[in-house]
Amino acid sequence: MSDKFWSDDFDMDLPKLFPQLAQLLETTAEQKLWTIGHRTHGRLNHPAVWNSHGAFVWMEKPNLKRDEHGWLNINSCVSNEEEIECTWLELLRDQWPHGFPFILLPLRVHFPSPPYREFERIMYDLRGWHKYEDIQVSRDTVLKWIVRVNQKFEECIVRYRTFAA
């Protein structure tokens, strides 16, 4: 697997916008997860998503059953995309610009989309397309989203360890 992540050179990458991200995520950043979707440089670049709930993300490798043509079916959501290992940090970095929600399995916990309005406001301000006097409000909203979803993920890790035991 490559060391390069697709958004490393992206001006709107979460670690560039929020240098304190590693501190916010603490121990969860490197937690291994699995999804199905697309790769760039051998790493996650947009999972397969459905309008009903977004992407599927697993706490462990799902080893999904496929038909003779390579298609899988999860609760009537069909795809032929491959299983991809990623970290919690990579998932958040990918979720941020792509704007998808996801469901964490096997716990069936829904995670919301990132605040897309704030993504656009920060991007426009950063690139000088439109300067916002209140841009810090948007940045604070994103930080609150990161903290909220990370706390929710921490709770899921505890529940999953209890569930798996």
The pLDDT assigned to 1 comes to 64
Given CA atoms 135, 148, 74, 47 in this order, what sign does their dihedral have?
positive
Q: Specify if 112 maps to a domain.
A: yes
Q: What is the pLDDT along the chain (165 residues), one digit of tens a residue?
A: 678 999 999 999 999 999 999 899 989 999 999 999 999 999 999 999 998 889 999 999 999 999 999 999 998 999 999 999 999 999 999 999 999 999 999 999 999 999 999 999 999 999 999 999 999 999 999 999 999 999 999 999 999 998 777
pTM of the predicted model as reported, rounded to 2 decimal places: 0.95
Q: Which amino acid is located at 126 in the chain?
A: L
pLDDT tens, residue by residue, 110-150: 999 999 999 999 999 999 999 999 999 999 999 999 999 99
Q: Treating both helix axes as pointing N-terminal to C-terminal, what angle do 88-98 and 135-164 enclose, rounded to 10 degrees?
A: 140
Question: Does residue 1 sit within a domain?
Answer: no
In angstroms, rounded to a whole number, what is the distance separating the alpha carbons of residues 152 and 111?
A: 8
Domain count, the chain: 1
Phi-psi region of 99 (alpha: psi -120 to 50; beta: other; left: phi over 0): left
% of the chain at pLDDT higher than 70: 99
Range of the structural domain that residue 31 is part of:
6-164
